[in-house]
């Protein structure tokens, strides 16, 4: 048996996450961290009052 089926470009690209999804996940992670930091700041400042 030859291993040529696994070396085609299509087989290699199916193993990777598409670039658009990876960028979207990165943007969502950054946005969630900014929102969490904002809430932390609100509660931190509100606790001093």
Could you list the pLDDT tens digit for every one of the 49 residues in the chain? Answer: 555 555 666 656 567 889 999 999 999 999 999 999 999 999 999 987 6
- The 8 Å CB, 24+ separation contacts for 30-34 are none
Structure tokens at 22: 């990876």
Q: Is residue 32 helix, strand or coil?
A: helix
Residue ranges per structural domain of the chain: 18-49
Q: What is the pLDDT of residue 15?
A: 79
Whole-prediction pTM value?
0.59
Q: What is the pLDDT of residue 24?
A: 96
């Amino acid at each position: 048996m030859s291993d040529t089926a696994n070396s085609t470009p299509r087989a290699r690209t199916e193993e990777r996450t598409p670039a658009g999804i990876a960028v979207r996940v990165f943007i969502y992670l950054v946005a969630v961290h900014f929102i969490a930091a904002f809430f932390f700041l609100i509660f931190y400042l509100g606790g001093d009052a």
